[in-house]
Structure 1
Amino acid sequence: MSSRDIFLAACNQLNDGLAGFGFKASQKGACLKKISIHKEFTFEISFQSSTLNSNGYVKLLPHILITSRRLKKWLKAQTDDVYSNDIIYSNQLGYISHFQEWKSWNVSGISQEKAIAEVIDVIKTYAIPIFDLFEDINSTIQFLMNKGTKFNRYTAQSLTPLAFMLCFASKEEAQCFFDNYLIGAPGKRLIMSLYKELKEGKAVDLMHAEFVDAFAIKLAFLQGLKI
């Protein structure tokens, strides 16, 4: 078997192991998708391979993603069609679990059975509960207000869901999420500096990212959130 065939065979074993959660496979099994109960969100687990694979070592890297069509439309409307994005939350499986690293698994040879079982277990333990939380929009909003993206003891705080909060929650709830993130935000000095510049009249360029959270900070400013 080629490394590609080995990779796809592993993907299909993962699909079988997660069959009870209602996902549908695409991309020959390399992507699993599920629509939330309320039809607002899409939950996705994708399996990335590597161009450096060989028959003796086939790398598989799982990622999770939560998206919303309504969010994409809202962002387009709020930014005069300058910017649109449907992402509510995304991460690599290693970073939402006890591994705490950009994690890959070797799914070839004698490593395959153990690797497949471990990936399935990690997805069930850490990814599925995040998806389950988003099945109730009100509960999701309350969780993000109070705990941010600390979905478990290993996940880091992220400002990515800010657009979701501005679209789906009240302004007050979005402000609460924003305030809590800022308390321990990495690069807080950069955030404060950019916000000050925007208040003083700096042009809002949504297509230029001065740093990782720059777009979210600009969106917060445009939506009237305060620092």
Structure 2
Amino acid sequence: MKPRDIFIKACNEIAVPFLEKGFKSSKNGQCLKRISRDKDLTFKIWFRSSVYNTSCSVTIYPLITITSKSLKKWVQEESINVNNDGLVYHNHIGYLSPINEYKSWNLAGLSYTISVKAIIDLLEKYACPIFDLFENRQTAIDFITQHGCCFNQYTKDSLRALPYMLRYGEKEQAENYFNHYIHLNKCRNRFLKAYSQLEKNEVIDCGLDKCFVILAYNQKLEIK
């Protein structure tokens, strides 16, 4: 089989247990999608590969994404300087699990069966509980207020859910989430400096957090 055919075959085999959980397959099995009960959220499991695949090495990278239709509309209407696709959360399965890296699995030869099973197990154990959490908006907001995006003992916190918290939670809850991240990552002084620079209309440098710091500042979230 050609590397592309092996990759597609694996995607469709991985999909089987998730089709039973209400996911639908698209893009030749490369994307699994489920709509939340309230019809607002889209839960996706999707698979990337590599243009450098050979008969001896066929890579697969599993990722998850949660997006919200109403959040996308709000972000666009408010002209908020973050993603405009309603992104609530996304990550690679490696960063949701003890693997703790952007890992790829090899689907070539004898590795095929082992890799397919490992990916299914990881998605069921670490991705599905996150999807289930977001099925109830209030439960998700309460969790993020207290724990940030640390959805299990292996997941690192991030500010990806800040637009979601600002849109659907109380200001105090969004503020608690923001400060949970600040203290966990020991970036209070850096963020305070950024706030001071924003007051003076100066350019800030907060790396990947830049757009979220600007959003927090504009929404008058206090750094505690």
Could you tell me which amino acid in structure 2 is paired with residue 77 of structure 1?
A: E
Q: Report matched runs for 1:55-70 at 5 Å.
A: 55-70=55-70
Question: Which residue of structure 1 lines up, in the alignment, with residue 211 of structure 2?
Answer: 215
Give the Cα separation in 2 of the matches to 1:32 and 1:124.
13
Residue-pair matches, total: 223
- Give the 4+ runs in structure 1 shifted more than 4 A: 80-83
Give the Cα separation in 1 of the matches to 2:194 and 2:14.
44
* SS of residue paired to 1:175: helix
Question: Which residue of structure 2 lines up, in the alignment, with residue 12 of structure 1?
Answer: 12
- More displaced stretch, 68-77 vs 147-156: 68-77
Give the Cα separation in 2 of the matches to 1:85 and 1:170.
22
8 Å CA contact 1:76–1:82 kept in 2: the answer is no
Give the Cα separation in 1 of the matches to 2:185 and 2:134.
24
Unaligned runs of 5+ in 1: none
Q: What is the RMSD computed on CA atoms of the aligned residues?
A: 1.8
- The change in CA–CA distance for 1:202 and 1:81 in structure 2 (over 3 A counts) is closer
State the shift of 1:186 in Å. Answer: 5.3
Question: Which residue of structure 2 lines up, in the alignment, with residue 202 of structure 1?
Answer: 201
8 Å CA contact 1:26–1:32 kept in 2: the answer is yes
Give the Cα separation in 1 of the matches to 2:14 and 2:82.
38
Question: Which residue of structure 2 lines up, in the alignment, with residue 42 of structure 1?
Answer: 42
Question: Which residue of structure 1 lines up, in the alignment, with residue 171 of structure 2?
Answer: 171
| TM-score, normalised relative to structure 1 | 0.92
Q: Give deviations 1:91-142, integer Å, cap 9, x for gaps.
A: 0010100111111111121111111111000000000000000000000000
Q: Give deviations 1:169-203, integer Å, cap 9, x for gaps.
A: 1112111111211112254443221111112x316
8 Å CA contact 1:150–1:156 kept in 2: the answer is yes
Question: Which residue of structure 2 lines up, in the alignment, with residue 117 of structure 1?
Answer: 117
* SS of residue paired to 2:63: strand
Does 2:73 match 1:73? yes
Matched residues, percent identical? 38
